[in-house]
Amino acid sequence: MSQFEQTIKLHVDPARKVFKVPRSAFTSQAVFEAERDQIFSRCWLYLGHASEIVKPGAFVTRSVGGRNILFNRDADKQVNAFLNTCPHRGATVCRDRAGNAKSFQCFYHGWVFGSDGALKSQPGQESYCEDFVADGQANLPRVPRLEEYRGFWFVNFDAGAIPLEQYLGNAREYLDIVADHSEAGLEVVGGTQEYSIRANWKLLVENSIDGYHASTTHATYLDYLKGTAGSLAAVPLKGVGRDLGNGHAVIEYAAPWGRPIAQWIPAWGEEGKQDVERIMAGLTERFGAERAERIGLKNRNLLIFPNLVINDIMAVTVRTFYPLAPNYQHINAWALAPVDEHEWARKRRLENFLEFLGPGGFATPDDVEALQQCQAGYDNAREAAWNDISKGMGREVPSFDDEVQMRAFWTQWNKMLDASAS
Ligand code: FES
Ligand code: FE
């Protein structure tokens, strides 16, 4: 076995129901580089939501899989994803975070591209051959694959990748549940939460779908809710964890906090009660009682392998992250909300978005601290070689606070890196 294979080797013992992950997976430069080649260059990666580029000319730029991407809707209403690097000599073409533009001019030598990426003009055009643009090489380079599912747009840097829908597989069921919150559609509410953590990105994967840590790490939040009149419904924390295949996983559970879709808490008063009942009646009409209750009352933390997390909890947070080093990652998170929700609900939703998972909220600073402490352990105490991910292994219906979700992720992670090793 090569040294690299040893670095990524899982210890799985079904008889003893033990599953261990090597801590070298969090510290190795070779793993970090292999992840870029084998995972972030081959998997479908979340780019953005349709609501971010509604009008012709609307664009956003963001880093996806380590590449700077220009995501826009062109004058013909087509959605595009370009590598935001000038075909001339490489400068970043669009240096704004978001806006609306009929064309993009590279600031270095002044080449101008249409919103469809085609080169429209360049200074000193007469110095180039007549058919210079004919082969398309002078246009903004497109990301090889760009596909959408229910308003969620993904890119893939591997032209030969399987179609997005096939890749999403069983995870589609959960994206459908989120997308079905409103018949009128969902929108990303303006603004992005951005922060960095001095910890490996896979620690945040685990943490995002970890029902086990809530009562200890987030004791402060739970105490705060208990101490705030009317902020809890009489609903016990209870649910299941699921391996969805392809590395995707979810926990789905009932919880006592309020959800503007559609779990009322006394603090929302009569106005809130009537509105939540209206929303639930609408969901029941569209989907029947059982599915309506699942949409309205159940929480879910969904991982789309490798690095998209949708936390449909007291608000809906869409979160992606990307490693900049084995022990450092950058995170982006957006609030997703029904376009037609009432003012009170939007206000509550955004309070929740900030209060729990915001970078200055009750949860994220505590999670960040936990993740950085874990990373410090891996970096400093190399003699302690293994992480334990065994909880609930072999259980027919794993609980939301078991670890089947993480095993799903690690199994796929190992499979993808192992392919590169052989
Ligand atoms: Fe963009 Fe030269 S690098 S015009
Ligand atoms: Fe947490």
Same domain as 262, residue 210: yes
* Ligand 1 contact, 138 CB (< 6 A): no
pLDDT of 419 reads 76
Rounded to 5 degrees, φ, ψ at 204 are: -75, -30
Contacts of 166 (CB under 8 A, 6+ apart): none
| Alpha helix ranges (H) inside 209-326 | 214-217, 219-226, 269-287, 289-297
Counting ligands in written order, the one closest to the CA of 313 is 2
Q: Within 10 Å of residue 325's Cβ, how many Cβ atoms?
A: 11
Atom 2 (ligand 1): residue with closest C-alpha?
Answer: 109
* Ligand 1 contact, 107 CB (< 6 A): no
pTM assigned to the model: 0.97
Same domain as 146, residue 193: no
Atom 3 (ligand 1): residue with closest C-alpha?
Answer: 89
Same domain as 176, residue 295: yes
Which tokens hold the place of 257? 């906090």
Query: Does a structural domain hold residue 9?
Result: no
Range of the domain at 245: 169-421
Same domain as 282, residue 214: yes
* Ligand 1 contact, 111 CB (< 6 A): yes
What is the chain's pLDDT, residue by residue, as a tens digit (422 residues)? 889 999 999 999 999 999 999 999 999 999 999 999 999 999 999 999 999 999 999 999 999 999 999 999 999 999 999 999 999 999 999 999 999 999 999 999 999 999 999 999 999 999 999 999 999 999 999 999 999 999 999 999 999 999 999 999 999 999 999 999 999 999 999 889 999 999 999 999 999 999 999 989 999 998 999 999 999 999 999 999 999 999 999 999 999 999 999 999 999 999 999 999 999 999 999 999 999 999 999 999 999 999 999 999 999 999 999 999 999 999 999 999 999 999 999 999 999 889 888 889 999 999 999 999 999 999 999 999 999 999 999 999 999 999 999 999 999 999 999 976 65
Query: Does a structural domain hold residue 4?
Result: no
pLDDT of 421 reads 61
Same domain as 129, residue 53: yes
Task: Tell me how far the alpha carbon of residue 200 lies from the centroid of ligand 2, in angstroms.
Answer: 16
Atom 4 (ligand 1): residue with closest C-alpha?
Answer: 109
Query: Does a structural domain hold residue 30?
Result: no
Which tokens hold the place of 19? 């599953």
Rounded to 5 degrees, φ, ψ at 214 are: -55, -50
Same domain as 118, residue 69: yes
pLDDT of 115 reads 98
Query: Does a structural domain hold residue 6?
Result: no
Task: Tell me how far the alpha carbon of residue 331 lies from the centroid of ligand 1, in angstroms.
Answer: 30
Last residue of a domain, one of 138, 160, 182: 160
CA atoms within 13 A on the CB side of 411: 17
Q: Within 10 Å of residue 141's Cβ, how many Cβ atoms?
A: 14
The number of folded domains in the chain is 2
pLDDT of 357 reads 84
Counting ligands in written order, the one closest to the CA of 85 is 1
Residues 299 and 255: beta-carbon distance below 8 Å:
yes
* Ligand 1 contact, 105 CB (< 6 A): no
Q: Give the atom of ligand 1 at the shortest distance from the alpha carbon of 122.
A: 4
